[in-house]
Amino acid sequence: MDDKILEGTTTVGITCKNGVVFASERRASMGNLVAHKVAEKIFKIDDHIVTTIAGSVGDAQSLMKVIEAEVSLYQMRNNDNISVKAAASLTANILRSGPMYVQTLLGGMDGDEPSLYSLDPAGGMIKDTYISTGSGSIVAYGVLEDRYTDELTTDEGIEIAIRAIRAAAERDTYSGNGYLVAKVDENGFEMLDNEKIDDILKKI
């Protein structure tokens, strides 16, 4: 059943001057049915690389497992971390070999250099400073276009990402049921707990 569930979802990625921020809501829908209310849409690939997914749950889960395995193999063979761009290129090649119904954001840090890529189901790969995917992305982009600057810190980026997801959840019926928020900076990966997210929601 899971591979028939389509996540008409909203995910956001924002490049900040000291890291990359990711956010999503948690609803997984199947037609007009809310199939799951706690869907995982942000995945840690490594301490310096994170992805988000929108689309078929089955395709997304398969893709994440392959990316994680390939990144681990690269690091074992080369005794070094894979770059964010190389990980994005690897993901694009996987998608080109067999299109999957999934749209992916992949980003992270190479040393102190943040970067973010969008990958479409056919393997197209585009680098950008901020990106939203899924059915609520039109609403989320309104917030991102209005508030993004090149000088954002990750703390400021987190607030904007949550604003974007909240706005999408208010207007997109396929988005809702809570928030997932993560960041990657010079200290590595962090998934924010619900208490931190609630504190930010109260502030904004």
**Residue 137's domain is classified under what CATH number?**
3.60.20.10
Identify the domain containing residue 61 by its residue range.
2-198
For residue 17, being part of any structural domain is answered with yes
| Tens of pLDDT, residues 141-171 | 999 999 999 999 999 999 999 999 999 999 9
Q: Can you tell me the distance from the alpha carbon of 134 to that of 142, in angstroms, rounded to the nearest whole number?
A: 14
For residue 83, being part of any structural domain is answered with yes
pLDDT greater than 80 at residue 128: yes
Residue-wise DSSP of 7-38? ----EEEEEETTEEEEEEE--EEETTEEEESS
- Respond yes or no: is residue 173 known to be catalytic: no
Catalytic member of 9, 10, 51, 91: 9
Least confident of 54-68, 118-132, 180-194: 54-68
**Are 129 and 147 within 8 A, CB to CB?**
no
Give first-to-last CA distance, the chain, whole Å. 38
For residue 203, being part of any structural domain is answered with no
* % the chain with pLDDT above 90: 85
pLDDT at 7: 53
Q: Helix count (H) and strand count (E) of the chain?
A: 5, 12
Residues 6+ positions from 108 with CB-CB distance below 8 Å: 20, 45, 46, 48, 49, 50, 84, 87, 114, 115, 184
Mean pLDDT score, 16-27: 97
Mean predicted lDDT score pLDDT of the chain: 93
Enter the DSSP assignment of 119: E
Give the residue from 98, 95, 102 showing the smallest Cα distance to 124: 95
pLDDT greater than 80 at residue 63: yes
For residue 7, being part of any structural domain is answered with yes
pLDDT at 1: 42
Look at strands 102-110 and 49-55 and give their pairing. antiparallel
Mean pLDDT score, 60-88: 95
Mean pLDDT score, 82-109: 94
pLDDT at 18: 97
- pTM (2 d.p.): 0.94
For residue 84, being part of any structural domain is answered with yes
Q: How distant, in Å, are the alpha carbons of 94, 106, 137, 143 from that of 151? A: 34, 21, 23, 16
Q: What is the largest CA-CA distance in the chain?
A: 47
Least confident of 2-6, 56-60, 172-176: 2-6
HSE at residue 201, side-chain half, CA atoms within 13 A, is 14
For residue 204, being part of any structural domain is answered with no
pLDDT at 5: 54
How many domains does the structure of the chain reveal?
Answer: 1
pLDDT greater than 80 at residue 8: no
For residue 104, being part of any structural domain is answered with yes
Look at strands 130-133 and 113-119 and give their pairing. unpaired
Q: Can you tell me the distance from the alpha carbon of 57 to that of 5, in angstroms, rounded to the nearest whole number?
A: 6
